[in-house]
Structure 1
Amino acid sequence: MAAFAIRRLDRADAAAYREIRLEGLQRHPEAFGSSFEAEAALSLDEFAERTVAVTTFAAERDGRLLGIVGLARETMAKRLHRGTLVRMYVRAEARGSGVADALVTTVLDHARAEGLDAVLLAVIPEAEPARRLYARHGFTVYGIEPGALRIGDRSYDDELRIRIL
């Protein structure tokens, strides 16, 4: 696979962001708190707002987004020192290429630069490749939220992880 670049997305990237986000939601509904149906109904302007409301990074090659990740900063006064890694998705064609590692590294570097002291995330226990990715980057499990997600009659636990910076 040819090289890729990591960059921060902005409002002008709304269409490309919408495309990859909806792909992730459709192909891996168990990996996200949101649903394909809910986000497919959003306007392009709403996607543009999402690219900046949460600091969003993408891996890109030849104008195509290969993967995305977000860092959501806490907004409550006593929690401003923390952020949450959200909306992580890497297209199948880019898996195993270093894209996921580069995206997580970028989020952690950005969090440090912003003065955060920890980044949290949630991952389902069934997502073994994602769990290995986060473990490689120093995220440790601090709890399990039983039945955090429900799709139809199926429930999924969330494995809660933290990376102290």
Structure 2
Amino acid sequence: MPGMPAGAAKPGFTLRRLGAADAAAFRDLRLLGLRRHPEAFGAAFEEEAGRPLAWFAGRLEVHAVWGGWQTGAGPLAGVVGLQLNGVAKARHKGVLWGMLVRPEARGGGLATALAGALLEHARSHVEEVRLSVGASNPAAIRLYARLGFSAYGVEPRALKLGEAYCDEVLMALRF
């Protein structure tokens, strides 16, 4: 929900930016997503499963990664990251990456709230946020469109899983 302060209580869940201390929870959720939805991520489960916990902690230190928990006890329920570009001529753009919500936490607005917190943070760092989303994931495409993202192209055969190819829709949101 754009405009809500980071960490503010949302209906049914809380959000905050993750840090190195959250590396184990982040790793567990990320590996779950990579295993269950390989078509949705550029990374491969086999590559990231072998990485040490310190690698995941490093990602949380380098990127702005937001996490959400359902109210009450429970594991990390969702994440989304923002990558800022270090190249001078591309510093005006950020990349939304790694959006994932546990199946049991879907449908309650957590993905929208996570993206909103990330976009609120991004507004003070970049002029535009880009993302790529699997063309076979209409629910995610609709979510990003509701948030104000517009499609600007399709990358055919963006990912290869075995002998199958996955196209990705390229989307951007200008502030």
Give TM-score scaled by structure 1 length.
0.96
Matched, 1:156 2:161: no
- Correspondence for 2:3: none
How far apart in 2 are the matches of 1:73 and 1:81?
A: 9
- Correspondence for 1:8: 17
Of residues 127, 138, 143 in structure 1, which corresponds to 2:137? 127
Segment drifting more, 2-11 vs 141-150: 2-11
How far apart in 1 are the matches of 2:62 and 2:74?
A: 23
How far apart in 1 are the matches of 2:49 and 2:61?
A: 18
Measured after TM superposition, the shift of residue 131 of structure 1 is 0.6
Measured after TM superposition, the shift of residue 93 of structure 1 is 0.7
Segment drifting more, 63-72 vs 19-28: 63-72
Question: What secondary structure is seen at the aligned counterpart in 2 of 1:6?
Answer: strand
How far apart in 1 are the matches of 2:124 and 2:87?
A: 19
* Structure 2: segments with no counterpart, 5+ residues: 1-10
Give TM-score scaled by structure 2 length.
0.91
Equivalent residue runs for 1:8-87 within 5 Å:
8-61=17-70, 62-87=73-98
Question: What secondary structure is seen at the aligned counterpart in 1 of 2:21?
Answer: helix
How far apart in 2 are the matches of 1:118 and 1:63?
A: 34
Aligned residues: 163
Measured after TM superposition, the shift of residue 5 of structure 1 is 0.6
Question: What secondary structure is seen at the aligned counterpart in 1 of 2:76?
Answer: strand
How far apart in 2 are the matches of 1:159 and 1:53?
A: 26
How far apart in 2 are the matches of 1:132 and 1:121?
A: 13
Write the deviation string for residues 138-158 of structure 1: whole angstroms up to 9, x where unpaired.
Answer: 110101111010000000111
Letter in 2 for 1:96: G
Letter in 2 for 1:106: A
Letter in 1 for 2:14: A
How far apart in 2 are the matches of 1:51 and 1:111?
A: 16
Q: What value does the CA root-mean-square deviation take over the aligned residues?
A: 1.0
Measured after TM superposition, the shift of residue 134 of structure 1 is 0.4
How far apart in 2 are the matches of 1:134 and 1:144?
A: 15
Question: What secondary structure is seen at the aligned counterpart in 2 of 1:5?
Answer: strand
